[in-house]
A = this chain, B = another copy of it.
Amino acid sequence: MMRAGTHHLADDALRAAASVDDTRLLASIEALAAFGARSDGGVNRPALSATDLEARRHLVGYAHALGCTVTTDACANLFIHRPGSDAAPPVMTGSHIDTQPSGGKLDGCYGVLAGLECMAALNDAGIRTRRPLEVAIWTNEEGTRFAPGAMGSSAFVEPSRMPAYLNAADADGVTLGAALERYRHALPGLPSRGDAPPAHAFVELHIEQGPQLENAGVPLGIVTGIQGVRWYEFHCQGVAAHAGTTPMPMRRDAMTLAVALRASLEAIATSLGGEHTRITFGRWSVTPNSINTIPSDVTFSVDFRHPDAHVLDSFDAQVSACAQRHGARIAPLFTHAPVRFDATVLARLDAACHALEAPALRLTSGAFHDAMYLSQHCPTAMLFVPSRDGISHNPAEATDARHLVLGARALAHTLTTLCND
């Protein structure tokens, strides 16, 4: 039996988890999805767009109602702060609320709203943690309005990135700098804080965006790291010629070259990386792109991901040689090493799943997340819930309500134990 004023800390975590309110959590997801709602049920909410600013105002109002303070920083990240009993570095959670142009309701938003639900649950349970708890909303994670993605979290951990980011322009030529100016006018009165203060830990809850949990029939995923990635662009040069007059043996069709190169690259990736290989040829540009002209130029992108840094390095070496054999030009666009999350935070996630009697799978994230950068700042790990049919970046993105609630309970448990360290 517990008496008022004599909290048992392990009980705090279980009580916080139990106080997660499923109706309130699910309603908060629907409420946020109204900002930038698409007619097909999806969401289109570019970073720092008018709808994003309205969504932020909505969340700031909710944070104030929870008794939290809200601050911002140079990259428009928002920090929703629930005080602790001590002035120790906070435990952080959160994610992002910008979406793909035809995105869903959960990617990013779920992690932010589950974090706020944890604060509401702690309030309801009358728990005052030792450390503060902070929900972060990271700016422009998707990278579809401004490149690169994860701007907010990467600028948080490395503020020297900001001067370059300020010049990044969207498709209409609006720079991040101009969008930030508009943000400061739209949400006045938010205190801005300087460089990132120390944090005790960061835990990001997210939908899996893949099929592994669903296939395994397991409701929670403890994410041990993030795959490394290589982005390349390949350019194949042919000769534009008339479709009707050029005999087949005389043609130098850039698409024929590109299709052969694509097959070679996929074979290399598969032979190097085995079943963990993810290789995608997502973006194509064909010139002159005319029915009756043989293509002279084809450019295509390669996205290669693997959890093993050695495999990524070998891929780098082999694709250069492969491009040369095919007479293609190669341009590296982006690279990120694999990330290993913190063993101590992973152990707290294990303990939470155990305490809630929720089966959990250990897995590697195939997608980037803000946690990729936060892991450079403080002990970090992630928790996943299943994605129905593995679908994400799509209006059809969905997760069963019981999984959404269970994920929020496991997050509440984990954050509470970390806050009481």
Chain A interface residues toward B at CB < 8 A: 100-102, 144, 208-212, 227, 229, 231, 239-248, 250, 253, 255, 259, 262, 270, 275, 277-284, 286, 288-296, 301, 303, 305, 333, 365-368, 387, 390-394
Contact = CB atoms under 8 A, between A and B. Distances in A.
The 7 closest A-B pairs by CB, nearest first: A210-B245, A244-B366, A245-B366, A243-B280, A244-B367, A243-B303, A284-B286
A275 B266 CA distance: 32
Contacts of A281: 253, 255, 295
Contacts of A283: 286, 289-291
Nearest to A363: B245
Contact of A229 (B244, B333, B387, B391): B244
A185 to B, nearest CB: 30
Contacts of A390: 241, 245-246, 250
Contact of A239 (B244, B365, B368, B391): B391
15 contacts: A100-B293, A211-B247, A239-B391, A241-B392, A244-B367, A245-B387, A250-B390, A253-B281, A259-B259, A282-B288, A282-B289, A284-B284, A290-B393, A291-B303, A293-B393
Contact of A262 (B210, B259, B365): B259
Contact of A242 (B244, B291, B393): B393
A208 to B, nearest CB: 7
A108 to B, nearest CB: 13
Nearest to A368: B244
Given A210-B246, A245-B278, 6 more contacts: A102-B288, A242-B366, A280-B291, A284-B295, A291-B333, A296-B394
A241 B283 CA distance: 13
B303 A210 contact: no
Contacts of A211: 245-247, 250
A251 to B, nearest CB: 8
A280 B259 contact: no
A355 B247 CA distance: 31
B243 A278 contact: yes
A290 B100 contact: yes
Given A208-B245, A210-B247, A394 B102 contact: no
Contacts of A255: 281, 284
A333 B292 CA distance: 12
A227 B292 CA distance: 14
A61 B353 CA distance: 86
B280 A209 contact: no
A295 B301 CA distance: 12
A282 B292 contact: yes
Given A284-B255, A391-B239, A244 B278 contact: yes
A62 B101 CA distance: 55
B301 A100 contact: no
B244 A365 contact: yes
A240 B280 CA distance: 11
Contacts of A241: 390-394
A262 B262 CA distance: 14
A245 B259 CA distance: 24
A294 B279 CA distance: 9
A209 B282 contact: no
Contacts of A144: 290
A231 B366 contact: no
A376 to B, nearest CB: 19
Given A101-B288, A294-B280, A295-B282, A209 B242 contact: yes
Contacts of A229: 244
A211 to B, nearest CB: 6
Contacts of A284: 255, 284, 286, 289, 295
Nearest to A281: B255
A301 B291 contact: yes
A6 to B, nearest CB: 45
Contacts of A209: 242, 244-245
